[in-house]
Amino acid sequence: MGFRQGHPAVTAANPKTRLAELVAEAVRKAFPGSGEATVDLDRPKSADHGDFATNVALQLAKRVGMRPRDAAQAIVAALGGAPEIAKTDIAGPGFINFTLSKASRFGVVAAIQAAGAGFGRGRAGEGRTIMVEFVSANPTGPLHVGHGRQAALGDAISSLLEWQGWKVLREFYYNDAGNQIANLALSVQFRLREAAGLAAGADMHEDWYRGDYIRDIARDYAAENPGDAKGGDLEAIRRFAVAYLRGEQDADLRAFGVRFDSYYLESSLYADGKVEEAVRMLVAAGRTYESEGALWLRTTDFGDDKDRVMRKSDGTYTYFVPDVAYHLTKFRRGYANAVNVQGADHHSTVTRVRAGLQALAAGIPEGYPDYVLHQMVTVMRGGEEVKISKRAGSYVTVRDLVEEAGRDAVRWFFIMRKVDSHLVFDIDLAKSQSDENPVYYVQYAHARLCSVLREWGGDAASLASADLSALGTPHEVALAQALAQFPEVLGRAAREFAPHLVSFYLHDELAARLHTYYNAERFLVEDEAVKLARLALVAATRQVLANGLAVLGVGAPERM
């Protein structure tokens, strides 16, 4: 008689976790008083060597005074007849290879059936809060592709943390103060004066913004403020331009499927006296000194290569001072855990901000906040780099890419590489409907399985009673192994702030094995037991593909 999904012996979502528990228990039984052993399980390079292997006997041999192979034999004997294990072999100097029972191999199908859209969720962050700050663009122009990569990464990291039980606050920090904002206002004022015949293009300062969006802002400002069509009120222009671009950026992010829970204005740090308070705290802590008319912070006390100016001789603050004040507010708001997703050009900021926070003597832990620094993006079309957007004037915008390649492709491509890898976004590849396009390859796997289940036409709930003992081909084993890895992949990706691990898993592990299985076997066969067992595996795979795509903010189409 075959086993069924509801049987207690096959409910473990991750057979690797269960096997590690069994081996650890066998070690305690075989060698009482020897202390705890770390049970690491790896997949053998050859499937002929079983499902997992461990070197725990080699670790223990010296401690228990035995040869490694003898220690391995003692552990195997202590395992007894565990139903999860079909076979054990001792290989080489003392490695133990395990072949799982069929019930253990395919028990993940039952776990997926039970958890559904929640399969893969963990509890590592349960009861804890974390702030994820990302994008944080100056409101001086449309979002460029670097912001887009940051938006996709930050949103996926937030989602991963939520899947591990964290309560996540997504925050956007608007840098609405400083010289760049002043130049924005002057740029719009110039276009107003130009339209009124009071200025010529040749008079435009090299630091001012030149994209078509500046003319759009000037046109709308004049329409709403007809009494100042010639741009006489620079402060009113500044407020209008900042609000205009905040609205534009918010619209771009909504179109990209990215949301924020909180927006924080740099200007409020000055208005509320938080910058001055942070400076007073640093002075009171004895970490500052004056030289050449400027106020300096002893950042070398905290690992910086040289001390840094806080307040220049003209009385204005350098950029990292409001950053220190801002992160002090994060900590005071109760976010003892925080991660910033920023471009690699912020590398020097990490040391300075952390040094400033430590110098405050405010109880903020070392290494606060965490940083994820990503490399920039190069956009290619037709084998050539695309550099200019007419609207932005000097760079490719997120909106350009989304409109041309689609949101799902853009989000996937921005996530699929390690953050410290330069990303080449090939528009032609992102738009192609081929196996070479990674997002198409994964989405097509999901759509394929939806098609199989539609063609079958049965009630998916009936698959809960499928007799999975009918499974066992190498392709089915490989697919079940991939499904079982999903919770572990999500946990690691959340710990390491590394969503590319999920895209790699979905493409190289799950979708690849599914397509191979699909091409090798028929699912709607005449043998009813085999058909239902395969459909149960198909339904489980479809669910995990959908869950993984959801974590990344990418759609899971049912038809393609």
Edge-to-edge strand list for the sheet holding 85-91? 41-42, 52-54, 95-100, 85-91
pLDDT-wise least confident of 45-54, 92-101, 187-196, 300-309: 45-54
The answer to whether residue 47 scores a pLDDT higher than 90 is: no
Percentage of the chain exceeding pLDDT 70: 97
Determine the average pLDDT of the residues in 142-166. 97
* Contact of 560 with 443, CB cutoff 8 Å: yes
Stronger pLDDT, 200 or 541, i.e. the higher one:
541
- Write a three-state SS string for 503-559: HHHHHHHHHHHHHHHHHHCCCCCCCHHHHHHHHHHHHHHHHHHHHHHHHHCCCCCCC
Determine the average pLDDT of the residues in 420-428. 96
Per DSSP, the residues of 189-246 read HHHHHHHTTS--GGG--TTS--SHHHHHHHHHHHHH-GGGTT---HHHHHHHHHHHHH
The answer to whether residue 390 scores a pLDDT higher than 80 is: no
Q: Which residues contact 28 (CB under 8 A, 6 or more apart)?
A: none
Q: With 0-12 CB in 10 A as exposed, 13-18 as middle and 19+ as buried, what is 204? A: middle
Stronger pLDDT, 12 or 217, i.e. the higher one:
217
**Can you tell me the distance from the alpha carbon of 295 to that of 314, in angstroms, rounded to the nearest whole number?**
11
Centroid of chain to Cα 1: 45
**Can you tell me the distance from the alpha carbon of 102 to that of 470, in angstroms, rounded to the nearest whole number?**
10
Which pLDDT value is given to residue 8?
A: 33
* Contact of 360 with 278, CB cutoff 8 Å: yes
The answer to whether residue 14 scores a pLDDT higher than 60 is: yes
- pTM for this prediction: 0.92
Distances in Å between the Cα of 507 and the Cα atoms of 329, 436, 499 are: 40, 11, 13
Strands (E), 72-178: 85-91, 95-100, 129-134, 167-174
Stronger pLDDT, 172 or 4, i.e. the higher one:
172
**Can you tell me the distance from the alpha carbon of 536 to that of 452, in angstroms, rounded to the nearest whole number?**
11
Determine the average pLDDT of the residues in 64-93. 94
Which pLDDT value is given to residue 477?
A: 94
Closest residue by Cα to residue 100 from 199, 18, 30: 18
**Can you tell me the distance from the alpha carbon of 19 to that of 42, in angstroms, rounded to the nearest whole number?**
11
Which pLDDT value is given to residue 131?
A: 98
Confidence of residue 275 (pLDDT cuts 50, 70, 90): very high
The answer to whether residue 106 scores a pLDDT higher than 80 is: yes
Q: Which residues contact 1 (CB under 8 A, 6 or more apart)?
A: none
Run of H or E including 468:
none
Half-sphere exposure of 231 (CA within 13 A, CB side): 23
- The SS3 of residue 370 is strand
- Write a three-state SS string for 324-358: HHHHHHHHHCCCCCEEEEEEHHHHHHHHHHHHHHH
**Can you tell me the distance from the alpha carbon of 241 to that of 239, in angstroms, rounded to the nearest whole number?**
6
Which pLDDT value is given to residue 75?
A: 97
**Can you tell me the distance from the alpha carbon of 355 to that of 371, in angstroms, rounded to the nearest whole number?**
14
Looking at this protein, which amino acid is placed at residue 392? Answer: A
Which pLDDT value is given to residue 5?
A: 34
Which pLDDT value is given to residue 437?
A: 98
Partners of residue 397 on adjacent β-strands? 144
Stronger pLDDT, 2 or 175, i.e. the higher one:
175
Looking at this protein, which amino acid is placed at residue 115? Answer: A
Query: Residue 324: how many CB atoms within 10 A of its CB?
Result: 26
pLDDT-wise least confident of 9-23, 228-242, 306-320, 514-528: 9-23
* Contact of 543 with 121, CB cutoff 8 Å: no
Query: Residue 247: how many CB atoms within 10 A of its CB?
Result: 11
**Can you tell me the distance from the alpha carbon of 217 to that of 225, in angstroms, rounded to the nearest whole number?**
12
Query: What is the overall mean pLDDT for the chain?
Result: 93
Confidence of residue 388 (pLDDT cuts 50, 70, 90): low
Hey, what are 79's tokens? 């395992």
- The SS3 of residue 125 is coil
Centroid of chain to Cα 18: 28
Looking at this protein, which amino acid is placed at residue 212? Answer: D
Percentage of the chain exceeding pLDDT 90: 88
R_g of the chain, CA atoms, integer Å: 29
What tens digit of pLDDT does each residue of 158-210 get? 999 999 999 999 999 999 988 899 999 999 999 999 999 998 877 889 899 98
- Phi, psi (deg, nearest 5) at residue 161: -65, -40
**Can you tell me the distance from the alpha carbon of 5 to that of 99, in angstroms, rounded to the nearest whole number?**
20
